[in-house]
C-alpha cells in the first residue's frame, strides 16, 4: 500500500491583475495601497506614453500603455481602476466594460444619474463587476458602525450630521473651479456625506439644498437636508474654500456615535448611551491609506461570480447620482460640458 498522501486542498486561484487608467494623484494613492497589500498591478495607461512610463517606473509596473484603449485591450489585465477627471468617469468605465474588464471607478460614479444607469446596466448585462470607489464604505470603523446600527445598539436612528469642508486651490483655472470639469464642492467633497446618508438611511424622500457660488459658477459651499419616510434627517454640508471639522455624528433614541476627524478616512469613534455615558471606544489601526479594502471587495465579487454586493451595489451609486442631480437643480449648478447630457 502506498504511503503517498493526496492533498484535497484546491489550488489557489491565480491573482487578478489590475490596470490603472489615469496617472494622477489619486491613482498613485490607490496603486500604492494595492502594492503594499499584495495585489497584482500589471499595467498603467495614460494619454501619453511618457506619462504612463513615468508612472510605471515609479511603482515598478511591468507594462505602460500610451492610451486608455491599449490598456483595456491588454489581455494580461483583468480589472481596471479608473481615476480620471469626473467628466470622463462614465466614458472610461464603458470603455473598460466593453473590453470585458471589471471596473473600480473613482467617485463620483458619473456626472449624473443617466450616465450612472448606462454604466450599471451595461455591467449587469455583461456579467461584469462595476464598483464605485467610495473607499469609506469599506473601512473598519464603518463596518463596525453598520454592525451597531443593525444590532439596535443606537435604538431608532434619527439623525446623521456630517460635513466635508476643505481649503482647496482658489485659482479660477484649477479643475475644482471649472464647471466644464465638474468642479465645485458637491462632486468632490459632498459626495462623501451624501453617500454616508445613503449608507445609513437609504434613498431620501425629500431633499432641500442651498448653496453659495464662486465667480466661476461652481458651488463654493452647499448645505443639504435629506428627509426620510419615518422622519429621519441627514444634515450635510460641504465647502471647498474653508477647512472644517470633518467630523460626523449618528444619533439614535438609545445613544449616538461621534466619529473623529477625519470621519470619511480611517478613524476612531466613540459610542455613548442616551445619558451621555461612553460605552464603546473604537480605534482599529489600518495599514497603508485604507484604499485596499475597496479593491478587496472588487476581487471578492469577481471570484464569487457576482456583479453586486451589499455594501455599495451599483444601483445605489446610480441612486446617489440621482440625488445629486436634485441638489444641482435646486442650487442652479450647471456643468458646461459636452460630456453632460
User: How much of the chain, in percent, has pLDDT values that exceed 70?
Assistant: 95
Helix/strand/coil for 106? strand
pLDDT at 340: 45
Q: What is the mean pLDDT of residues 217-224?
A: 97
What's the mean pLDDT when you consider all of the chain? Answer: 95
The whole-number pLDDT of residue 9 equals 66
pLDDT for res 195: 98
pLDDT in tens, 130-181: 999 999 999 999 999 999 999 999 999 999 999 999 999 999 999 999 999 9
219: pLDDT strictly greater than 70:
yes
- pLDDT of 8 reads 55
Once rounded to an integer, what is the mean pLDDT over residues 94-103? 98
Distance CA 97, CA 120 (A): 10
Question: Residue 11 has what pLDDT?
Answer: 75
CATH assignment of 17-134, among 3.40.50.720, 3.30.470.20, 3.90.1150.10, 1.20.144.10: 3.40.50.720
CB atoms within 10 A of CB 313: 16
Report CA torsion sign: 322, 328, 176, 181: positive
Cα dihedral 83→88→90→93 (10° resolution): -50
Dig out the grid coordinates for 91 from the structure. 466614458
Residue 44 has pLDDT above 90, yes or no: yes
What are the domain boundaries of the chain? Answer: 17-134, 140-285
Tens digit of pLDDT for each residue in 237-264? 999 999 999 999 999 999 999 999 999 9
Q: Cα–Cα distances in Å, from 124 out to 19, 131, 294, 320?
A: 21, 11, 19, 18
**Residue 341: its pLDDT value, please?**
40
CATH number of 140-285: 3.30.360.10
The pLDDT value recorded for residue 13 is 85
Amino acid at each position: 500500500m502506498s504511503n503517498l498522501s493526496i492533498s484535497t486542498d484546491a489550488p489557489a486561484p491565480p491573482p487578478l491583475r489590475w490596470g490603472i487608467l489615469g496617472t494622477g494623484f489619486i491613482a498613485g494613492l490607490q496603486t500604492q495601497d494595492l502594492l503594499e497589500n499584495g495585489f497584482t498591478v500589471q499595467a498603467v495607461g495614460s494619454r501619453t506614453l511618457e506619462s504612463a512610463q513615468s508612472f510605471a517606473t515609479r511603482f515598478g509596473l511591468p507594462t505602460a500603455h500610451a492610451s486608455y484603449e491599449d490598456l483595456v485591450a491588454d489581455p494580461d489585465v483583468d480589472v481596471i481602476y479608473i481615476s480620471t477627471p469626473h467628466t470622463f468617469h462614465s466614458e472610461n468605465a464603458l470603455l473598460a466594460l466593453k473590453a470585458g474588464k471589471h471596473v473600480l471607478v473613482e467617485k463620483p460614479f458619473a456626472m449624473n444619474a443617466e450616465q450612472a444607469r448606462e454604466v450599471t446596466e451595461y455591467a449587469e448585462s455583461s456579467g461584469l463587476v462595476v464598483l464605485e470607489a467610495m473607499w469609506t464604505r469599506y473601512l473598519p470603523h464603518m463596518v463596525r458602525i453598520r454592525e451597531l446600527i443593525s444590532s439596535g445598539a443606537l435604538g431608532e436612528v434619527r439623525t446623521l450630521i456630517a460635513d466635508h469642508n476643505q481649503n482647496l486651490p482658489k485659482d479660477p483655472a484649477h479643475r475644482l473651479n471649472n464647471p466644464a470639469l465638474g468642479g465645485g464642492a458637491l462632486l468632490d467633497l459632498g459626495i462623501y456625506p451624501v453617500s454616508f446618508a445613503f449608507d445609513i438611511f437609504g434613498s431620501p424622500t425629500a431633499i432641500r439644498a442651498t448653496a453659495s457660488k464662486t465667480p466661476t459658477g461652481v458651488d463654493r459651499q452647499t448645505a443639504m437636508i435629506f428627509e426620510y419616510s419615518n422622519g429621519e434627517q441627514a444634515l450635510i454640508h460641504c465647502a471647498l474654500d474653508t477647512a472644517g471639522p470633518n467630523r460626523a455624528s449618528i444619533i439614535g433614541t438609545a445613544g449616538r456615535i461621534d466619529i473623529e476627524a477625519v470621519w470619511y478616512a480611517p478613524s476612531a469613534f466613540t459610542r455613548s448611551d442616551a445619558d451621555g455615558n461612553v460605552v464603546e471606544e473604537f480605534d482599529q489601526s489600518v495599514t497603508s491609506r485604507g484604499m485596499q479594502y475597496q479593491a478587496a471587495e472588487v476581487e471578492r465579487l469577481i471570484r464569487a461570480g457576482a456583479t453586486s454586493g451589499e455594501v455599495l451595489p451599483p444601483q445605489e451609486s446610480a441612486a446617489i447620482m440621482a440625488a445629486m442631480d436634485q441638489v444641482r437643480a435646486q442650487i442652479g449648478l450647471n456643468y458646461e460640458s459636452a460630456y453632460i447630457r
